[in-house]
Amino acid sequence: MLLRIEYDASPVDLAVYLSGLCHEATHALFRLNPHDGPTRRELFERFVAWGPYRRGVVDPPTGHR
């Protein structure tokens, strides 16, 4: 909640900050424990997708390339 208040006027800056945290967490988790940790998508949803500027994650249609 505090991040939303702090970055209220600059949601793009919040996205960059959260993306950096997500990158660091992904790197650390997959280096330390590559088999049992959360998926990259779960990390993205946890770190980035909650922001007010994001639309929901959409799965690609099945059967199409």
Count of residues making up the chain: 65
- Confidence category of residue 38, pLDDT binned at 50, 70, 90: confident
CA–CA gap between residue 28 and residue 22 (Å, rounded): 10
- φ, ψ for residue 29 (rounded to 5)? -65, -45
Supply the pTM of this predicted model. 0.64
Helix, strand, coil share of the chain (percent; to 5): 55, 0, 45
What integer pLDDT is reported at residue 24 of this predicted model?
A: 92
What's the mean per-residue pLDDT of the chain? Answer: 80
